[in-house]
């Protein structure tokens, strides 16, 4: 019966379409019929899949399985899932596995967390092309465990006074540092060697930023030094040369923070302003006026987040207007700021030793709410660095804290879905940091992370690189050894059990018992232990 019904509609459809598309000169064979339907249904996202849908739906709907839905539709559903859930769903069947593995969301996940992947040196590049985004993602996710592993420390000597700023350019494996001794130094991140240093720049340098095109340093004098990258130079910048460009001192106070993005440069200063510059023309595009000293800034897309005094700001760059202000984010100054790749998460560190995590939400009108708080330090948090999922903080109590934000993200994502309308500052409980790195009795002023390394520096003028790049390998070796030991132990245990079994079986035979006892002290001791076990049982 049902089949007949189907047929009825089928013919009906043919009629209607035929009348409309006479000019298309449709033949009645089913192939073309479907094609015409595709034309009719133009304009949708899943347009090209209509054909499949047609064939799919010829099946009776009683017990519809997801495999009967067109792949594009399943893809849409998977689109709404997160990496972990995709993993689980892909375990359900081969079809889902295929769909989930090839899904483009992996690219989004990756870029959301870490930005575009850094292509390894020439020969590595071909390999990374072959890898799917999912593989890249999984590798990266796996490697993110390294910061819980073992490390080695490299000490870089060179600065004669306090180091105020550290910048890691992980794509080129370079570290830039500077401070009270007025010299910008460049180091090799992997080898831990000094590469070059600039002549004294005439004032304390409190901020350094770089990308593969430009290196900028800002100091107490209020001007910015720029070095442009030389194509031929393996280390990009020739620090020895007098700087290629020296911008007029536009800031009236010391520059405390600098940042670069594709088109613009940002500088924040104790003159209570942030200036936004055009990178190519070095013209000042915008001045963002704060009500207190600017401590730190972090741009993303068309917004820039900044901390000034004890407040947190988010600005719109194009209009120069304040989007959000969080007053008194910390007791005392809010020294440090870090931002995630999505630009949605903000981390602030303050004079009170606390670290707050804020989330920006809302598209038309921005809102910020506090998601979590940590108090890992006893005194001021001078610097923060974020590389998913790790937040690293450096404090004047001489400690580094490592914080894994993954857990918070999950629970919190759920909560936004269920009760997004709830008020700001939901969370008042304090989270524990995942790991502390001790070992300095002195102020730490700056920290940065890149390619499995943490670079920090402070009052003593020594730059330290905490190298975790071997952590996973070491862990694997340790695991292997532990496995081996366990296996040996099991084997010994089995042998003993066997022997004991023999002993018991030979209970009536005094000879075997004696022989067992003669096997040595160790064995008989084990025997006794076995007896105790038995009693306990």
Contact positions vs other proteins (CB under 8 A): 5-6, 8-10, 12-13, 16, 20, 40-46, 49-50, 53-54, 56-57, 61, 63-67, 69-70, 73, 76-85, 87-97, 138, 141, 417
Instruction: State in angstroms the smallest separation of the CB of 78 from other proteins.
Output: 7
Instruction: State in angstroms the smallest separation of the CB of 40 from other proteins.
Output: 6
Instruction: State in angstroms the smallest separation of the CB of 42 from other proteins.
Output: 6
Nearer residue to other proteins within complex by CB, 90 or 383: 90
Nearer residue to other proteins within complex by CB, 41 or 196: 41
Nearer residue to other proteins within complex by CB, 397 or 404: 404
Nearer residue to other proteins within complex by CB, 77 or 430: 77
Instruction: State in angstroms the smallest separation of the CB of 276 from other proteins.
Output: 36
Nearer residue to other proteins within complex by CB, 131 or 505: 131
Nearer residue to other proteins within complex by CB, 96 or 226: 96
Sheet holding 205-210, edge to edge: 205-210, 214-219, 224-228, 245-246
Span between the terminal Cα atoms of the chain, in Å: 69
Whether the CB-CB separation of 288 and 304 falls below 8 Å is answered with: yes
Q: What is the CB neighbour count within 10 angstroms for residue 291? A: 11
Nearest by Cα to 182 from 205, 159, 165: 205
Nearer residue to other proteins within complex by CB, 45 or 537: 45
- What residues pair up with 400 in beta bridges, in sequence order? 394, 437
d(CA 485, CA 489): 6
Strand pairing category for 224-228 and 444-450? unpaired
> Torsions phi, psi of 478, nearest 5?
-60, -45
Instruction: State in angstroms the smallest separation of the CB of 5 from other proteins.
Output: 6
Whether the CB-CB separation of 418 and 172 falls below 8 Å is answered with: no
Instruction: State in angstroms the smallest separation of the CB of 387 from other proteins.
Output: 18
Return the structure tokens found at 309.
Answer: 């005094």
Within 157-253, strands assigned E span: 163-169, 174-179, 185-188, 194-197, 205-210, 214-219, 224-228, 245-246
Task: Provide the angle, in degrees to the nearest 10, between the axes of the packed helices 133-143 and 105-114.
Answer: 40
Whether the CB-CB separation of 236 and 229 falls below 8 Å is answered with: yes
Instruction: State in angstroms the smallest separation of the CB of 53 from other proteins.
Output: 6
Whether the CB-CB separation of 271 and 222 falls below 8 Å is answered with: yes
Instruction: State in angstroms the smallest separation of the CB of 370 from other proteins.
Output: 25
Sheet holding 400-404, edge to edge: 381-387, 390-395, 400-404, 435-437
* String of DSSP letters for 303-335: EEEEEETTEEEEEETTT--EEEEETTSSSS---
Nearest by Cα to 390 from 328, 434, 354, 437: 434
Nearer residue to other proteins within complex by CB, 38 or 235: 38
d(CA 465, CA 152): 8
- What residues pair up with 227 in beta bridges, in sequence order? 215
At 266 the three-state DSSP class reads: strand
Nearer residue to other proteins within complex by CB, 80 or 537: 80
Nearer residue to other proteins within complex by CB, 67 or 328: 67
> Torsions phi, psi of 240, nearest 5?
-65, -35
Instruction: State in angstroms the smallest separation of the CB of 131 from other proteins.
Output: 14
Instruction: State in angstroms the smallest separation of the CB of 59 from other proteins.
Output: 11
Q: Taken in order 100, 104, 109, 114, is the CA torsion positive or negative? A: positive
Strand pairing category for 367-374 and 430-431? parallel
Nearer residue to other proteins within complex by CB, 40 or 278: 40
Instruction: State in angstroms the smallest separation of the CB of 13 from other proteins.
Output: 5
Instruction: State in angstroms the smallest separation of the CB of 41 from other proteins.
Output: 5
Nearer residue to other proteins within complex by CB, 37 or 293: 37
């Amino acid at each position: 019966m049902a089949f007949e019904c189907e047929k009825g509609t089928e013919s009906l459809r043919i009629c209607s379409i035929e009348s409309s598309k006479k000019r298309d000169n449709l033949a009645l064979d089913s192939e073309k019929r479907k094609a015409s339907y595709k034309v009719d249904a133009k304009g949708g996202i899943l347009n090209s899949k209509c054909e499949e849908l047609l064939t799919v739906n010829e099946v009776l709907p009683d017990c519809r399985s997801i495999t009967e839905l067109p792949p594009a539709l399943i893809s849409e559903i998977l689109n709404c899932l997160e990496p972990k859930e995709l993993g689980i769903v892909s375990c359900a069947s081969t079809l889902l596995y295929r769909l989930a593995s090839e899904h483009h969301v992996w690219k989004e996940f990756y870029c959301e967390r870490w930005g575009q992947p850094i292509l390894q040196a020439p020969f590595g590049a071909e390999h990374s092309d072959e890898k799917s985004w999912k593989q890249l993602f999984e590798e990266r996710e796996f490697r993110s465990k390294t910061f819980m592993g073992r490390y080695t420390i490299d000490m870089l000597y060179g600065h004669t006074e306090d180091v105020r700023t550290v910048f890691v350019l992980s794509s080129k494996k370079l570290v830039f540092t500077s401070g009270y001794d007025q010299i910008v130094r460049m180091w090799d991140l992997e080898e831990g060697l000094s590469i070059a240093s600039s002549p004294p720049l005439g004032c304390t340098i409190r901020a350094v930023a770089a990308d593969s095109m430009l290196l900028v340093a800002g100091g107490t004098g209020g001007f910015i030094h720029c070095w442009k990258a030389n194509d031929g130079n393996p280390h990009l910048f020739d620090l020895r040369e007098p700087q290629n460009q020296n911008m007029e001192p536009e800031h009236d106070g010391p520059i405390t923070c600098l940042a670069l993005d594709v088109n613009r440069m940002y500088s924040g200063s104790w003159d209570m302003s942030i200036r936004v510059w055009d990178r190519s023309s070095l013209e000042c595009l915008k001045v963002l006026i704060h009500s207190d000293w600017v401590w730190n800034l972090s741009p993303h897309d068309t917004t820039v987040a900044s901390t000034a005094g004890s407040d947190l700001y988010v600005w719109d760059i194009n209009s120069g207007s304040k989007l959000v202000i969080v007053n008194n984010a910390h007791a005392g100054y809010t020294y440090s700021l870090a931002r995630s790749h999505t630009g949605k998460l903000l981390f602030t560190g303050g004079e009170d030793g606390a670290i707050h995590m804020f989330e920006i939400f809302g598209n038309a009108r921005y809102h910020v709410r506090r998601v979590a708080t940590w108090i890992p330090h006893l005194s001021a948090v001078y610097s923060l660095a974020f590389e998913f999922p790790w937040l690293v903080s450096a404090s004047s109590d001489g400690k580094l804290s490592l914080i894994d934000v993954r857990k918070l993200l999950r629970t919190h994502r759920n909560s936004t879905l269920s009760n997004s309308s709830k008020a700001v500052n939901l969370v008042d409980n304090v989270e524990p940091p995942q790991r502390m790195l001790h070992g300095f009795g002195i102020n730490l002023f700056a920290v940065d992370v890149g390619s499995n390394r943490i670079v920090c520096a402070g009052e003593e003028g020594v730059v330290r690189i905490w190298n975790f790049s071997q952590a996973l390998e070491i862990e694997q070796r340790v695991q292997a050894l532990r496995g081996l030991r366990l296996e040996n132990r099991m084997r010994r245990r089995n042998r003993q059990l066997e022997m004991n079994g023999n002993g018991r079986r030979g209970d009536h035979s005094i000879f075997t018992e004696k022989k067992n006892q003669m096997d040595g002290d160790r064995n008989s001791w084990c025997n006794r232990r076995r007896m105790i076990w038995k009693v306990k049982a």
